[in-house]
Structure 1
Amino acid sequence: MIEDKHEYEKKKQDPSLKLFVVLSKAYRAVSDQVADDIRSKGLNTTDFGVLELLYHSGDQPLQKIGDKILLASGSITYVVDKLEKKGLVKRTQSEKDRRVTYAAITTDGVALLNEIFPDHWKQIERITNGLTEDEKIEAIMLLKKLGTFADRLQKENES
């Protein structure tokens, strides 16, 4: 029994679980506010993610969009269909491989993002103002390091 208590106390002092809980709560708090801001602009986070990707990165194969914005491949067709009906995105066939379909942002999609993105960016700045600029840079480096390590572990587990 005493060994169990000692092991419990040791685990209580390990910051790994605390880091996970704090990281999860911080992500949720920030993510919820960002989602609220996007919804206030008449979009959902998935639609906005696709539009933002196409706006900043240009035409994308439908198959690659899911990986880039963390969306299940089955959902891509649905999202692109919705955005296409709104006139914000169009599909184009690859000239090199007819099996590949690209999504491209339309001029209406560009106009929409030009209208809403500056305010959205200000909201993100406001939401993240709990950290100084130096703290933001440090957090970026630390979170990239953590994510890279977790990705490497995942790949090792898959092998």
Structure 2
Amino acid sequence: MSESLSLKAFVVLMKSSKSVQEQIKKDISNYDMKTSDFTILEAIYHKGRQTVRQISEAVLINTGSITYVIDKLETKGLLERSACKEDRRVVYIQITESGKQLMDEIFPKHQKVIEEIFEDISAEEKKTVIDILKRVGKKVEK
């Protein structure tokens, strides 16, 4: 049986993804956070005030789990909720000044870890990887 390049690409993608995720998880743990805490905080840090649904779509965590994480981050004073004046069913989540200060301190360090992971890959290669992975994702979403 000949080697299937699709199968090989899949295996390499999965192994690479696992390795990168483990490295990122290790980095985030240095800040006394879980990955879900950091991802939600990071999404609001960069995108500003969001609804729970918007956060859920951005970070790929289901809304039930997100509510629990938001509760924890709110208790720590890093996030706060505010009601939507037009629709009482909608609740906005925004970063507090304390949360912003924390992310101002740790996000550059986190970004440096990501930059180091990709440091041996040229800008052109990164663009190619992004394009290919987007195409794979769109194919699966059909």
Indicate the TM-score class for this superposition, using the shorter chain for normalisation.
over 0.9
Output the aligned Cα RMSD. Answer: 1.0
| 2:28 counterpart of 1:38 | yes
| Structure 2 unaligned spans of 5+ | none
Scaled by the length of structure 1, the TM-score of the pair is 0.85
1:119 maps to a residue whose letter is K
**Equivalent residue for 2:86?**
96
TM-score after normalising by structure 2: 0.95
Q: 1:91-118: CA deviations, max 9, x gaps?
A: 1101110011111110111100000011
Q: 1:53 aligns with which of 43, 50, 57?
A: 43
Residue 115 of structure 1: which of 105, 122, 130 is its match?
A: 105
Q: Deviations over 1:68-108 (max 9, x none)?
A: 10101110110000000000000110111001111111011
C-alpha distance in structure 2 between counterparts of 1:132 and 1:31, whole Å? 21
Q: Which has the higher helix share?
A: 1
Identity of counterpart residues, as a percentage?
43
The runs of 4+ residues in structure 1 deviating greater than 3 Å are none
Deviation at 1:13, TM superposition (A): 2.4
Name stretches of at least 5 consecutive residues in structure 1 with no aligned partner. 1-8, 153-159
Task: Report whether the alignment pairs 1:64 with 2:54.
Answer: yes
**Counterpart check, 1:22 vs 2:12:** yes
